[in-house]
């Protein structure tokens, strides 16, 4: 594969403002999750003739918070445009959005997200309404013979955050989205654990080819997969002398491939024009300053503070803060647990890894700070080993049982009686007497004996103590 065929990636990230109580332009409740289809609608979000939209002012405040956090230039007035397209998910055949063009502007432009030394430029931020949710009852968008529409989501307040094509590989794209997600969660703009609350249109081009857009990709890990697949597909086409045309494609997450959908529209196809029902709203410097005063601690600052305040590694602090819920759990538990590095390691290497390996979300966990504190106290007091802690974590996470209760029920307290451990070591040697000769030739064989003893104690013995007693007995 030619190293000269470099890729450029730009993202259009669509973020629900989940902290709003109502939709963007009407009084319908914004919590559409688990509602009966089409039960949370009104003439405004259905686009019925004569219905007049009225802006939810809190959406403006949240948008300015994001713009300030990303270092954007904020427009002097808020202007909405009608983006016309004729798909069934938008009942009125246009979307109230924003357009950066003559006589109109996005609410914010020219920001950045920093990934270490790498700067990912933000082209613009738009406030807009979400269309309805398309439901494919007998498969996916590619296989279902018909589509159902749920307009509960229609009119939900949303931010479109558009980057410049500064992203150069799949890993970088995922890092950008993880960082952006952390910023949005710290600002209390979006609960990104809600399905569909953060989606991305991925624009990918390879040297010598046209830009291809992959629509509605639902997670940072899927974005990574999309870029890896689509960049390989485009490079292969160019190397075979084929033309990569500008088009829209969809991601088939089951087969891990992109599939052509339609020839890509241009801005002119959408026939943007200012929405006459929503006149420009001035955004004063005084208002921006008032919003700025309410900004919470942002991820980069929190990483520095956690590292200094708790003496944990910069890496651990970064992993914790990339998911606000995990950082909050750490700080709540640290009020009673003082071995901060051990606490952060447990949360990252055991707790978070177990959840990620099962494609769960942190919000699915039933573990509270009290659970984590008690687990750490059992570890620190020597009642259980780290292996036992790992064994009971799933029950804590899935059922919300307290660690002490699980340990007592299953009889998992640590075996620390040296005489008992020595007796078990003697049993192992009696069963396999050749181990004595082997361990004297190769001291590493002692690790095998440790494993046998651990199995006989149900992994409840302290492996460090077992190792010491074996080496003392065998003189190695």
> Per-residue pLDDT averaged across 400-410, rounded?
92
Spatial distance between the Cα atoms of 312 and 333, rounded to a whole number of angstroms:
14
Per-residue confidence (pLDDT) for residue 117, from 0 to 100: 93
pLDDT at 102 over 90: no
**Which range is most confident: 161-165, 191-195, 434-438?**
161-165
CA atoms within 13 A on the CB side of 318: 8
> Per-residue pLDDT averaged across 27-51, rounded?
93
pLDDT at 275 over 70: yes
Spatial distance between the Cα atoms of 155 and 130, rounded to a whole number of angstroms:
5
> Per-residue pLDDT averaged across 107-113, rounded?
97
**Greater pLDDT, 124 or 446:** 124
What DSSP letter does each residue of 38-71 carry, written as one string? T-S--TTTTT-TT------HHHHHHHHHHHHHTT
Q: How confident is the model at residue 3 (pLDDT cuts 50, 70, 90)?
A: low
Spatial distance between the Cα atoms of 146 and 137, rounded to a whole number of angstroms:
8
Per-residue confidence (pLDDT) for residue 237, from 0 to 100: 93
Count the neighbouring beta carbons within 10 Å of the beta carbon of residue 244. Answer: 20
Which of 43-47, 140-144, 296-300 is predicted with the least confidence, judged by mean pLDDT?
140-144
Per-residue confidence (pLDDT) for residue 2, from 0 to 100: 47
Average pLDDT, the chain: 91
Spatial distance between the Cα atoms of 170 and 177, rounded to a whole number of angstroms:
11
Per-residue confidence (pLDDT) for residue 1, from 0 to 100: 39
pLDDT at 155 over 50: yes
- In this structure, is the dihedral angle defined by the CA atoms of residues 350, 352, 357 and 360, taken in order, positive or negative? positive
- Pairing, β 148-150 against β 81-84: unpaired
pLDDT in tens, 283-306: 999 999 999 999 999 999 999 999
Q: Are 232 and 49 in contact (CB under 8 A)?
A: no
Domain ranges of the chain: 7-291, 319-410, 418-474
pTM of the predicted model as reported, rounded to 2 decimal places: 0.86
Per-residue confidence (pLDDT) for residue 265, from 0 to 100: 59
Q: Are 9 and 167 in contact (CB under 8 A)?
A: yes
Spatial distance between the Cα atoms of 132 and 152, rounded to a whole number of angstroms:
7
Compute φ and ψ for 368, nearest 5 degrees.
Answer: -115, 170
Which of 253-262, 274-283, 299-308, 315-324 is predicted with the least confidence, judged by mean pLDDT?
253-262
pLDDT at 144 over 50: yes
pLDDT at 141 over 90: no
Q: How far apart are the first and last CA of the chain?
A: 54
């Amino acid at each position: 594969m030619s190293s000269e065929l470099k890729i450029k990636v730009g993202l259009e990230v669509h973020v629900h403002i989940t902290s709003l109580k109502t939709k963007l332009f009407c009084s319908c409740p914004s919590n559409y999750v688990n509602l009966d289809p089409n039960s949370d609608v009104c003439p405004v979000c259905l686009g019925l003739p004569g219905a007049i939209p009225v802006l939810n002012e809190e959406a403006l405040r949240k948008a300015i918070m994001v713009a300030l956090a990303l270092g954007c230039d904020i427009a002097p007035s808020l202007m909405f445009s009608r983006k016309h397209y004729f798909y069934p998910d938008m009942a009125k055949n246009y979307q109230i959005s924003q357009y950066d063009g003559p006589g109109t502007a996005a609410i914010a432009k020219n920001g950045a997200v920093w990934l270490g030394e790498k700067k990912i430029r933000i082209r613009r931020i738009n406030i807009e309404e979400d269309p309805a949710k398309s439901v494919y009852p007998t498969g996916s968008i590619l296989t279902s013979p018909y589509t159902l529409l749920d307009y509960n989501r229609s009119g939900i307040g949303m931010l479109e955050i558009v980057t410049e094509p500064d992203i150069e590989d799949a890993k970088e794209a995922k890092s950008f989205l993880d960082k952006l997600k952390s910023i949005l969660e710290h600002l209390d703009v979006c609960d990104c654990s809600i399905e569909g609350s953060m989606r991305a249109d991925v624009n990918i081009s390879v040297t010598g080819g046209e830009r291809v857009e992959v629509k509605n990709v639902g997670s940072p890990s899927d974005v990574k997969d999309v870029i890896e697949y689509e960049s390989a597909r485009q490079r292969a086409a160019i190397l075979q002398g084929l033309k990569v045309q500008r088009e829209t494609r969809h991601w088939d997450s089951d087969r891990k491939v992109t599939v052509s959908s339609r020839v890509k529209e241009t801005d002119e196809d959408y026939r943007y024009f200012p929405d006459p029902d929503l006149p420009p709203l001035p955004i004063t410097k005084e208002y921006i300053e008032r919003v700025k005063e309410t900004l919470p601690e942002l991820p980069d600052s929190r990483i520095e503070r956690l590292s200094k305040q708790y003496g944990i590694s910069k890496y651990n602090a970064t992993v914790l803060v990339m998911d606000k819920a995990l950082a909050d759990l750490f700080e709540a538990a640290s009020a009673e647990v003082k071995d901060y590095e051990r606490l952060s390691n447990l949360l990252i290497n055991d707790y978070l890894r177990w959840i990620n390996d099962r494609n769960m979300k942190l919000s699915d966990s039933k573990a509270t700070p009290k659970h984590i504190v008690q687990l750490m106290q059992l570890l620190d007091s020597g009642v259980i080993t780290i292996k036992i802690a790992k064994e009971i974590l799933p029950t804590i996470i899935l059922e919300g049982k307290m660690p002490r209760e699980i340990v007592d029920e299953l009889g998992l307290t640590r075996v620390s009686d040296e005489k008992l451990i020595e007796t078990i070591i003697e049993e192992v040697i009696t069963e396999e007497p050749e181990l004595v000769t082997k361990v004297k030739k190769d001291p590493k064989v002692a690790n095998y004996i440790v494993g046998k003893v651990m199995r006989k104690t149900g992994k409840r013995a302290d492996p460090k103590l077992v190792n010491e007693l074996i080496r003392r007995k065998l003189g190695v």
